[in-house]
Structure 1
């Protein structure tokens, strides 16, 4: 059965509840400056935040600037990130990205989508994370968790991540848009999980439009 679209009132309640649950949501990637975040997000593609943090917790005390990581070289960088999936291609992309940042951006992380997506290993999702988290822009990085959640709950249905992204930007109230990415990814990661969603403890199960939620313990409440 397909979920219906949430109403404006339900979307408002949805984000009010997520905000109450996590007033100051943050990425679970460890970083202390924009460059560290950029590299961590590049490394996180098809990898867990935990695995990335284990690697960068070793890497960043040694090298956390474009110049320092570039000086490691591809083989030197691999020694720090070899526990992460796809580390060979990621090491190559990171070194190339560092060279471009040094040569074209005064070693600073650029604040435009065009410049970010021109960096090796940086796609739309990574650019959205950086633009939102570092520069406070109202972007939406849609990963597998948010794609699933958007379709399942009826918050933002779409056949691909780009359609879900555009739908989310359209329907999320402005007061929530800056933190929405973090609220959604954390809710999808820990509550609205893929195979056995924790509907029995979900704070938004009454506004969720997933028909199967009651089979997973959602409590029936008056329709909002």
Structure 2
């Protein structure tokens, strides 16, 4: 690290290179991507979790906790173009592991966004009758390299939720570079029975990293 904060760009936030034709081309530096990630996480309310929800802090007293952690760590060695899905009861560490994954991706310079289904999606649903506003709200979620959807389909689920879920996940499904991380209290079988088109897309892109924890003890209460 240089005295300016970044050994690559010297704190500018971008780098400049000259092409073979002599044209100068600038690109965003990894340090700027990490800074923007932090800003997005702070605005989303996830920033506090990034410091506490690490792999080192994840409890592994039980076999299923060890297996879940190992799967999440393995995902980080094989994440390109793949999704990560974890379904299970409240308190089984879903958000903790997904946040730890996001932190590692961010440290690697991958742009990450966080959306809390029950907290953030209602505002988008309110815009469905305004095509321009709806498109503007959905575009960042559809196009960011890595998207973490927390508590997917939590609460009362309507046809509007189904439409938004399909619109969002289908856009990311057809993008081979899109990384989608999903935590939910539902199993993939429940999602498939609710909507096969949505469930099958999740199942196909996350099939190598599909965790269904089931009803385990809530270790938040310990």
Q: TM-score range by the shorter chain?
A: under 0.3
Q: Which of the two has greater strand per residue?
A: 2
Q: Which of the two has greater helix per residue?
A: 1
